[in-house]
Amino acid sequence: MEFENRSLSLQKNEETVNSSDTSEEKKEEREHWSGQLNFFLSSVGYAVGIGNICRFPYLCYKNGGGAFLIPYLIFMVIGAVPIYYLEYGISQFSSSSILTVWKICPLLKGVGYGALIVSGIFCVYINIFLTWILYFLYQSMTPILPWSHCKNEWNTKFCHNNSVDNGSNLILLQNTSDVNGSKYNSHLFPLNEVKMTASEEFWKYNVLQITVGIEDIGGIRLELLVCLAIAWFIIFLCLCKGIKSSGKIVYVTVTFPYIVLVIFLVRAVSLPGAAEGIKFFLIPKWHKMLSTKVWGEAATQIFFSSGAGWGALLTFASFNKFHHKLQRDAIMVPIINSGTSIFAGFVTFSILGFMAHEKGMSVDDVVTQGPGLAFVAYPEAVSKLPISPLWAVLFFLMLMTIAIDTQFGTFETITSAIIDEYPHILRKRKYLVTVCFCCIGFILDLPFITEGGIYVLQIVDWYCGLFTPMIVATLECLVVGWIYGTDRFYKDIQMMIGYQPCWWWKVCWKCVTPCFLMMMLMFNMLQLKPVSFDKYQYPSWAIGFGWIIGMMSVAPIPLYIIKTLWCANGTILQKFTNSLKPKMDWGPL
């Protein structure tokens, strides 16, 4: 009751002086979005990633076509939307990012550190996608696309522009594993066994110049080094002033991909074979609904695609004004994210249908995902269109804006968390903090742009977000649902938006959503296999390195619990009970 009265007085009297010096500084200086649309577009831009275009269509096709949409949309309703509402709510109420928001339950502040670490790792390697995209964009600005023919210096005698011998599919980048919707080539097939398309050879022998395994890391690719420097410079320019700069840029970076997707769809559906491709995407295979794997993959896809549990949603909402109508955004952003995935599926399979028609093959034989789609199949398809360089530039500009939007949320999560922990020192030095983290990110990215860098990238991608985002989201639900209490949280939301949510959200936060998350966590554990690149098997030391990366973001949770209980006063029971209570400076500023 004391806490509720304190919060109410803070709401009614904006001139009240907080007892905490840190809270007073945050009140005076913490940024806010210049408009509600800035927050909404930033959230959409972060949620809609390359996986919406390069992974979801393949999963939908593989897991029952239109039938896959049923579990996918169910899990959106009971999983993604409630987590969005919860993360938006606690962060907007307290104006806190991923570390300071855990004043709600100090015992579990290690959850915030776990989310910070996993976001930091993701922030580093996701910029490699932007690096590849910039390289392809540069190579697209020629009268003849370099991956459209076999007359380049990197091409082998096995290069060809037509169908693969004996009806083989795009073997190079198909049927590999991922985290966050990214697939990678894993093996150098003996060239006397398979011929490769010009786009495949461009990807392998020009872009990556890939080695035979992680044991042979090779040298740094100088062209990619330049693109990497440009990528980090772009991120710096966009974020050096925080949300004041990124909030304006998202008007372009978020809307542009939809314009390009519409243009591609209009062009793609008019191509021969497009209708056949769309049939492969949509025709339901109802028997697949009986497979637990289909339901598990639907749950995993909606969770990782939404971006919940990574910290960006908390960070974005912390910049909202106190009375922002968050419920509307919490519902609309996941819906737009899922709708984008479905819409992109029509574009993708229209193009794959066209490719199959051009090669005289079945759509089955050209279906691929991840970089196999973004950097092999799509470039090959646009190379067959009239004025192909124009279509290539449009496509890679679209991917570039999508990658930048994802990096906005991830990078801001890291900088805001650190600045909020040390506001007296860092809040007025946002520019310097951004410079430092961009330089650190550039240095840490260097192993990924070596000739064997993609092998390193696969390890990091495979293990980075293995469990942590799901654990973070589960503990958020348990804290709000059972420790802090949904009744208290309902009153907090009422203070912000003027009314209490309906009973549905309480049921989700206390029971339905935590069960969904734990089910998904168990599914991922059961499906877990050692990292691989198709037929290439990693040495044991590399797998061990991957597990270290995966556990780096989980370890802070138990370690911080031990540290909190060790440093607290009283009996064990008193220490435990007191550390579950919100801190005195938890609440609205």
pLDDT score for 369: 60
Q: What pLDDT is recorded for position 370?
A: 60
What burial letters (b/e) apply to 438-473, b meaning 16+ CB within 10 Å? beebbeebebbbbbbbbbbbbbbbbbbbbbbbbbbb
Which token pair is 441?
Answer: 């990110």
Cβ-based burial of 224 (10 A; exposed 0-12, middle 13-18, buried ≥19): buried
Global pTM value: 0.87
305 annotated binding-site participant: yes
pLDDT, tens digit, 9 for 90 and up, residues 489-513: 999 999 999 999 999 999 999 999 9
- Which position has the higher pLDDT, 18 or 264? 264
CA 248 to each of CA 153, 239, 254, 287, 428: distance values in angstroms, whole numbers, following the listed order: 43, 11, 11, 47, 21
The pLDDT, as a whole number, for residue 162 is 59
| CA–CA separation, 54 and 212 (whole Å) | 25
Half-sphere exposure of 33 (CA within 13 A, CB side): 25
Ligand-binding annotation for 52, yes or no, is yes
Contact 26, 420 (CB under 8 A): yes
Indicate whether 186 pLDDT > 60: no
Q: How far apart are CA 35 and CA 469, in angstroms?
A: 29
CA dihedral 577, 583, 588, 589 (to 10 degrees): 180
pLDDT tens-digit map of 223-258:
999 999 999 999 999 998 888 888 889 999 999 999
Interhelix angle 388-421/222-239, rounded to 10 degrees, is 60
What does the radius of gyration of the chain's CA atoms come to, in whole angstroms? 24
**Which residues are within 8 A (CB) of 479 and not within 5 positions of it... i.e. 6 or more apart?**
104, 105, 108
**In the predicted model, what is the mean pLDDT of the chain?**
87
Structure tokens at 221: 């690719």
Query: Could you read off the pLDDT of 402-432 as tens digits, one per residue?
Result: 999 999 999 999 999 999 999 888 888 889 9
Copy the structure tokens of residue 434: 């951004």
The answer to whether 172 and 380 have CB atoms below 8 angstroms apart is no
Q: What is the mean pLDDT of residues 296-302?
A: 91
pLDDT at position 229 = 98
- What's the pLDDT band for 12 if we cut at 50, 70, 90? very low
The pLDDT of residue 393: 96
Looking only at the bridges linking them, the beta strands covering 196-197 and 536-537 are unpaired
How would residue 176 be classed by pLDDT, with cut points 50, 70 and 90?
very low
Tokens of 376: 């092999």
pLDDT at 26: 45
Q: What would the pLDDT profile of 135-145 be if each residue is shown by its tens digit? A: 999 999 999 99
pLDDT tens-digit map of 190-231: 444 467 889 889 998 999 999 999 999 999 999 999 999 999
- Per-residue pLDDT, 8: 41
Any bridge partners for residue 536, and if so which? 533
The greatest distance separating any two alpha carbons of the chain, rounded to the nearest whole angstrom, comes to: 78
Give the closest residue to 469 by CA, choosing from 120, 118, 178. Answer: 118
The rounded distance, in Å, linking the Cα atoms of 351 and 369 is: 13
- Residue whose pair of structure tokens reads 């206390």 in the numeric block: 510
pLDDT at residue 134 in the model: 97
Query: Would you place residue 293 in the very low, low, confident or very high pLDDT band (cuts 50, 70, 90)?
Result: confident
CA distance 301 to 179: 10
* pLDDT above 70 (res 183): no
207 is in an annotated binding site: no
Distances (CA, A) of 569 to 105, 560, 584: 17, 16, 17
Long-range contacts of 32-37 (CB under 8 A, 24+ apart): 32/319, 32/320, 32/321, 33/243, 33/247, 33/319, 33/320, 33/321, 34/244, 34/247, 34/248, 35/247, 36/324, 36/325, 37/251
In order, the DSSP letters of 394-423 are: HHHHHHHHHHHHHHHHHHHHHHHHHHHHSH
How many whole angstroms separate alpha carbon 80 and alpha carbon 85? Answer: 9
Euclidean distance between CA atoms 258 and 341, whole angstroms: 11
User: 502 is written with which tokens?
Assistant: 């309906």
Kindly tell me if the per-residue pLDDT of 9 is higher than 70.
no
pLDDT tens track for 89-108:
999 999 999 999 999 999 99
Task: Provide the percentage of residues in the chain whose pLDDT is more than 90.
Answer: 63
Do residues 315 and 91 lie in contact, with contact meaning Cβ atoms separated by under 8 Å?
A: yes
Q: What is the pLDDT of residue 65?
A: 84
User: Quick check: 479 and 104 in contact, CB under 8 A?
Assistant: yes
For residue 177, what pLDDT is reported? 37
User: How many secondary structure helices (H) and strands (E) does the chain include?
Assistant: 29, 4
φ and ψ of 584, to 5 deg = -65, -30
- Euclidean distance between CA atoms 401 and 562, whole angstroms: 43
Q: Identify the burial level of 207 via C-beta atoms within 10 angstroms of its C-beta, where 0-12 means exposed, 13-18 middle and 19 or more buried.
A: buried
Per-residue model confidence (pLDDT) at position 179: 36
- By residue count, the chain amounts to 589
Mean pLDDT to the nearest integer, 525-532: 87
**178 assigned to a ligand binding site:** no
Which DSSP state fits 274? H
As a dihedral over the C-alpha atoms of residue 373, residue 378, residue 379, residue 385, rounded to 10 degrees, the angle is: 160
Domains along the chain with CATH numbers: 23-121+235-444+468-579 (1.20.1740)
- Could you tell me the pLDDT band of residue 161, with boundaries at 50, 70 and 90? confident
Ranges 170-179, 266-275, 339-348: which has the least confidence: 170-179
- One DSSP character per residue, 207-269 reads II---SSTT----B-HHHHHHHHHHHHHHHHHHTTTHHHHHHHHHHHTHHHHHHHHHHHHHHT
Distance CA 205, CA 141 (A): 20
Tokens found for residue 199: 């786009």
Lowest average pLDDT, out of 18-27, 48-57, 75-84, goes to: 18-27
DSSP-assigned states of every residue in 438-476: HHHHHHHHGGGGBTTHHHHHHHHHHHHTSSHHHHHHHHH
CB of 20 within 8 A of CB of 585?
Answer: yes
Q: 272-286, 292-306, 485-499 — which one is most confidently predicted on average?
A: 485-499
User: Is 480 a known ligand-binding residue?
Assistant: no
Share of the chain above pLDDT 70, in %: 88
What token pair was written down for 584? 């005195």
